[in-house]
Amino acid sequence: MAEIIQSPRGACALGGALAAVASINKAVPILHAGPGCGVQAFAGQLGNAGPNRTSYTPDSFPCTNMSQHEVVFGGIDHLREVVRGATEILNGDVYFVLTGCTSDIIGDDVDSLVDEFVKEGKPVTFANTGGLYGDGARGYEIFVEALAARIAPVTETKDEKLVNLFGIGPGLSKCWSGNIEEIARIIERLGLRVNTFFTRGEDYEKLLSSSAAFANIIISPHLLKEAESLWETRHGIKSFRYTGLPVGPTATTDFIRKVGEALGVDTAIVDRVTEEEESYFFDYASVTIGRLPTKKIAVVADAGTAIGLTRFLSDDYSQEVVRVIVTDNVLPEDQPLVRERLGGFQWAQNPEVFFLQDDYEIKQALEGDSFDMILGSSLEDEIVVPRGLQFMVVSIPTGPDMILNKAYAGYRGALTFVEDFIDACRPVHIPGISL
Amino acid sequence: MAKAIVTQNREDYPNTFYGGGGCCGESVNRFQSGCYNNVNRSFEQTKQCVQMSSVQVLTKIDDSLCVFHSPVGCTGCTSFINAFSKLLRVQMGRGAPRNIHYIATNMDEHDVVFGSTDKLIAAIAEGYRRYKPKVVFILASCASGIIGDNINAAAKQAEEQIGTKVIPIHCEGFRSQLNSTGIDTAFDAITGYLLDGTHPPKEDDLVNLFFPQSTTAYDRLEMAKIMGLFGKRANTVPDYATVDDILRIPAAAASIVACYIFGDHLAEWLKKEYGIPYEIIGLPIGLKNTDNYVRSLGKLFGQEDVAEAFIEKEHARIEKPLAELRKKLAGKRVLTGSGTSRSLSTALLAGDLGMEIVALQTPVLNNDVVREVGVLSEQHGDEFVLDISCVQPFELANIIKKYKVDFLIGFSTVSTMLGVPGIQTQGQYDFQQAGYDGILNLGEKIARLSANPTLQAHLRDRGYSPYSEEWLRKDPFSYLKKEEAV
């Protein structure tokens, strides 16, 4: 039984799945859900992460708006009308039915309804994504599982240069799309091609070609375990997993070397790419030395972001991270790995680590005076003013900041992070005045 | 918690319709002759739900706690309201930003199968331990409603346990076609559970001011400022009000309802129970509704002369710049759409600016709307399109193309992708729309956006609108069902 959560950081399974589908070019989500679900799920997930990507059908998803009538008599007939209408009204390469709690609880047979359209040759598919199945991250997992189980055709032919990139779910973290693009950029420098699915205008074609990839790269310590085994059993595609977002030269080079090893990339290419990228980073990073902050920091973020930023600040940028609060749902069996990845630095001390989703408990864990800066979500702003702490938004909900293609991951993203970090370290932050 | 309160759904009111569309003259005729019927859409886009409207009223009561008996997703809008309310709190001078206190019971598959009122009661007890709220609201969800969790009984049990009022809000998303039912549900809870039987000492200079929650801080302050001319203070409940402020609602000398669907219930109840007079006006946006606001204050307090003098002075003050704006905007074809009151007010404003109304979208068709549409028809004729929907952008896209709309006032995404400039009037917090300065302010913005729609043109040319050509050629109301809704 899931614990109660004060001020949840993100939406439900529908929110995570909707964020994924809405981020695919010319994919049309169709919600078989209650009247508020489209707005709630969109606002709670993708909207709370930027919004760094407008969807193809912004704020106007087809929806059955299930009312008492459907609750009592079932909603399949109306869903049939709405799917029919969507295929007539909205240009789409694929129509993706996503269910909400109402449909999942009353047990509407969406699978059979979708089959009717598939038999007509219409590109319609579905996933059961009711909020009762979990949070936004779970919704992203359900999407990737549906991709492996239902959408990607089984094929023996594999493209030895094509990889699928998973683990950074739309709307699950700040800068998710920029981070995907930066990591794809670096992997492509190794001579590979990357399906990112959710960025660079990628469309349904990439979903279909995913089963022709020869490997998956999963960037997450804990997500997509079920999907990982589905890819292997159904498509014979093995996954290389990197446990945390690679941010900065030390982590990104470690990531690239391990990718190279796992996927059999020529070491000469790996050496050349990492050398060039590291030089690019340090050429700029060296310029910041006159304003190098000396901060004691508390990080409040999802596991992937927390690992990425903590490792970068500790291993590359001479800062001291003293406390880390991991705010997404990391199961007890995954916590030791995440904890391990939040420590073991070359010089820096290991921070205290907490796993908390409830805002009240998070705020309690942020008491004390062992740090002078918080890297967290917009929910932390209320404590920084009275306590005179410095503050930077690095996790969801991000609040009013406009985030487009900004990245914190990789080599170039780490430079953007440094820019924002030093800006946030100004002694007095008055809008319009540079101090 | 003494009794269970059942709020009537808005669509069950007499003369209240939520679904339809067509020529306005013809729609009004059918309405007036009692032949209007609700029709559902066979295709529809996501709407807003009852719960979203309830939380807009309740979450901002300062010393309250909201417990969402739902999966976490049902707090999606509340997380946005939270961000908006922190800003508004600072803009309104109500202190440092702080997060709204709300807890989700995080209902999962296990809870759905076995029921979860125990967890709900535990969440309330834990929330009470944390913040000692003066009142706790339980917000129902589709999930809790379908599985039949008895939140009334849970409220009673929790109330006995913590010794503080626990109020069940029946805002299950599926219960009503109109999200405005959620506003009534919330206000009925305030009257039935908090105000009933209270008799605070009268405050003759206090006026309850009810307005939709999308109203910007600048608009709130402008309304309060105008009220000051009559020597009155605005009691802008329930925004950032404490429970004690709420309990002062019956102390007021009068109520002003600046919306056709927000607070009208409460004002009527206050009149019945306490004899407090009230006036329902539209949002004071545009000349007519701003004048209305000023006049209604004059009428309520016997200061008609003050009202008329102020109106005359303000009209004279803005006459010249308004004439300049009219020159720039004359003849531009406009679609307005949003919530009921904002749609109608901004349509009137468009008329002030010399623009021509070609279509109006409103979630509700009722007596208020028909009266205001009549006013609009005097200026714009009765041929314009009336779309009765909770924002169905696919119909608006069609109307924009078919009727060659030049400008959209409302939710502007749909027009932008079609190359037509628009202004987002809801969810904006950085500019004044209400009052006489609001007319010039909105007018300036509309004129500037009209003068340079470059981004819109680029997006149109690059095919960012998802709507098919085939659809844009059809009748905009092709997906209205033939039979009456049941």
Same domain, A334 and A407: yes
**Residues of chain B positioned with their CB less than 8 A from the CB of A64:** 44
Q: Are residues A167 and A221 in the same domain?
A: yes
Contact with chain B for residue A408, Cβ under 8 A: no
Non-local (6+) Cβ contacts of A205 within 8 A are A93
Q: How far is B113 from chain A (nearest CA, A)?
A: 9
Name the maximum alpha-carbon separation found in chain A: 69
| A:B CB pairs within 8 Å | 252
Residue B306 exposed, middle or buried by CB count within 10 Å (0-12, 13-18, 19+) = middle
Same domain, A267 and A339: no
What does the longest C-alpha to C-alpha distance in chain B come to?
68
Q: What is the mean pLDDT of residues B64-89?
A: 92
Q: Are A276 and A378 in contact (CB under 8 A)?
A: no
Mutate to test the interface with B, among A65, A138, A359 (most CBs of B within 10 A): A65
Q: Which residues of A282-294 are buried (b: 16+ CB within 10 A; e: fewer)?
A: eeebeeeeeeebe
Measure Cα distances from B465 to B286, B401, B414 in Å.
Answer: 31, 12, 8
User: Is the CB of A64 inside 8 Å of chain B's CB atoms?
Assistant: yes
Say if the Cβ atoms of B104 and A385 lie within 8 Å.
no
Residue with tokens 């021509």: B356
Cβ-based contacts of A102 with chain B (< 8 Å): 142-143, 146, 173-174
What is the rounded CA–CA span in Å between residue A371 and residue A385?
A: 14
A382 touches chain B (CB under 8 A): yes
A37 in reach of chain B (CB within 8 A) = yes
Nearest CA in chain A to B113: A105
Residue A429 lies in a domain: no
- Residue B94 confidence (pLDDT): 82
Report yes or no: A399 at the B interface, CB cutoff 8 Å: yes
Substitution target from A54, A132, A387 for chain B, most B beta carbons within 10 A: A132
pLDDT at A380: 96
For residues A20 and A144, state if they share a domain.
yes
| Alpha-carbon distances of A249 from A296, A305, B227, rounded to whole Å | 21, 16, 61
- Nearest-Cα residue of chain A relative to residue B127: A6
Residue A6 inside a domain? The answer is no
pLDDT in tens, chain A (435 residues): 789 999 999 999 999 999 999 999 999 999 999 999 999 999 999 989 986 555 666 668 999 999 999 999 999 999 999 999 999 999 999 999 999 999 999 999 999 999 999 999 999 999 999 999 999 999 999 999 999 999 999 999 999 999 999 999 999 999 999 999 999 999 999 999 999 999 999 999 999 999 999 999 999 999 999 999 999 999 999 999 999 999 999 999 999 999 999 999 999 999 999 999 999 999 999 999 999 999 999 999 999 999 999 999 999 999 999 999 999 999 999 999 999 999 999 999 999 999 999 999 999 999 999 999 999 999 999 999 889 899 999 999 998 888 999 999 999 999 999 999 999 998 655 555 544
Q: At which of A244, A259, A282 does a domain end?
A: A282
Residues from chain A that touch B99, judged by Cβ atoms under 8 A, are: 7, 359, 379, 382
Q: A380: distance to nearest CA of chain B, Å?
A: 9
pLDDT at residue B177, as a whole number:
92
pLDDT tier at B380, thresholds 50, 70, 90: very high
Q: How far is A71 from chain B (nearest CA, A)?
A: 8
Mean pLDDT of chain B: 94
Tokens linked to A165: 């990139």
Tens digit of pLDDT for each residue in B454-468? 999 999 999 999 999
The model scores a pTM over 0.90: yes
Percent with pLDDT over 70 in chain B: 99
- Helix crossing, B264-274 with B181-189: angle to 10°? 30
For B240, left (φ over 0), alpha (ψ -120 to 50), or beta?
A: left
pLDDT in tens, B244-282: 989 999 999 999 999 998 989 899 999 999 999 999 999
Nearest by CB to B83, from A10, A28, A400: name it.
A400
The torsion defined by the Cα of B221, B225, B230 and B234, in degrees rounded to 10, comes to: 20
Q: Is residue A19 domain-shared with residue A103, that is, in the same domain?
A: yes
Q: From CA B344, how far away is CA B439, in angstroms rounded? A: 14
Select the residue of B46, B99, B394 nearest A89 (Cβ to Cβ): B394
Contacts of A389 (CB under 8 A, 6+ apart): A371, A372, A373, A374, A383
Of A1, A42, A85, the CB nearest to B43: A85
> Is residue A325 helix, strand or coil?
strand
Of A35, A40, A65, the CB nearest to B74: A40
- Within-domain flag for A378: yes
pLDDT digits (tens, 9 = 90+) for B4-34: 788 999 999 999 999 999 999 999 999 999 9
Nearest to A205 by CA among A123, A149, A127, A126: A123
Domain boundary among A245, A262, A282: A282
Give A198→chain B minimum CA distance, Å. Answer: 17
Q: Which amino acid is at B216?
A: T
- Spell out the residues 6+ positions from residue B93 whose beta carbon is closer than 8 angstroms to its own: none
Q: Do B71 and A101 touch (CB under 8 A)?
A: yes
Residues A101 and A205 in one domain: no
Q: Which residues of B touch A33 (CB under 8 A)?
A: 46
* Residue A376 placed within a domain: yes
Contact A37 B102 (CB under 8 A): no
CB-CB under 8 Å, A381 with B97: yes
Assess whether A300 and A387 both reside in one domain: yes
pLDDT at A53: 55
Looking at the fold, whether A171 and A56 belong to one and the same domain comes out as: no
Instruction: Looking at the structure, tell me whether residues A345 and A417 fall in a common domain.
Output: yes
Q: Provide, as residue numbers in chain B, all residues whose Cβ is less than 8 Å from the Cβ of A65.
A: 44, 46-47
User: Cα-flanking dihedrals φ and ψ of residue B195, to 5°?
Assistant: -90, -30
Q: B183-205 pLDDT, tens per residue?
A: 999 999 999 999 988 999 999 99
Residues of chain A contacting residue B102, judged by C-beta atoms under 8 Å apart: 6-7
Indicate whether A244 and A302 sit together in one domain: no
Let me know if residue A57 belongs to a domain.
Answer: yes
| B106:A8 CB<8 A | yes
From chain B, the residues in CB contact with A59 under 8 A are: 46, 393, 411, 413
* DSSP per-residue string spanning B396-420: HHHHHHHTT--EEEE-THHHHHTT-
Question: Can you list the domains of chain B with their CATH numbers?
Answer: 10-14+48-195 (3.40.50.1980), 15-40+329-486 (3.40.50.1980), 206-305 (3.40.50.1980)
From CA B155, how far away is CA A177, in angstroms rounded?
A: 43
Q: Are residues A89 and B174, on separate chains, in Cβ contact within 8 Å?
A: no
Half-sphere exposure at residue A102, Cβ-oriented, CA atoms within 13 angstroms = 30
Contact indicator for B341, B259 with CB cutoff of 8 Å: yes
Which chain B residues contact residue A40 at CB under 8 A? 49, 52, 73-77
Tell me phi and psi for residue B138, to 5 degrees: -100, 120
**Which residues in chain B are closer than 8 Å to A1, comparing Cβ atoms?**
108, 110-111, 116, 119
Query: What integer pLDDT is reported at residue B411 of this predicted model?
Result: 87
> Do A41 and B123 lie within an 8 Å CB cutoff?
no
Residue A217 near residue A240 (C-beta atoms within 8 A): yes
Across the interface, do A15 and B73 touch by the CB < 8 Å criterion?
yes
Residue A8 lies in a domain: no
- Count: domains in chain A: 3
Let me know whether A222 and A318 are in one domain.
no
- Of A262, A282, A302, the residue that ends a domain is A282
Which of B48, B147, B174 to mutate against chain A (most A CBs within 10 Å)? B174
Strands A238-242 and A296-301: unpaired
Residue type for position B377: S
Q: Cβ of A36 under 8 Å from any chain B Cβ?
A: yes
Residue type, A292: L
Judge whether A193 lies within some domain: yes
Q: Do B43 and A82 touch (CB under 8 A)?
A: yes
**Structure tokens that stand for B163 in this block:** 């010794």
Q: Give contacts of B73 with chain A, Cβ < 8 Å.
A: 11-15, 37, 40-41, 44, 131
Which of B46, B107, B126 is nearest residue A38 as measured by Cβ atoms? B46
What is the distance in angstroms between the Cα of B120 and the nearest Cα belonging to chain A?
A: 9
* Whether A145 and A181 share a structural domain: no
* Interchain proximity B174–A67, CB inside 8 Å: yes
Complex confidence, ipTM: 0.95
Stretch B309-326: mean pLDDT: 98
Whichever domain contains A180, its CATH number is: 3.40.50.1980
Pairing verdict, β B20-23 and A390-393: unpaired
For range B434-446, the mean pLDDT: 97
Q: Which of residues 65-124 of A touch B (CB under 8 A)?
A: 65-71, 78, 81-82, 84-86, 88-92, 100-102, 105-106
**Containing structural domain, residue A103:** 13-151
- B327/chain A closest Cα distance in angstroms: 34
Average pLDDT for B120-141: 98
Average pLDDT over residues B223-249: 91
The residue-averaged pLDDT of B382-402 equals: 95
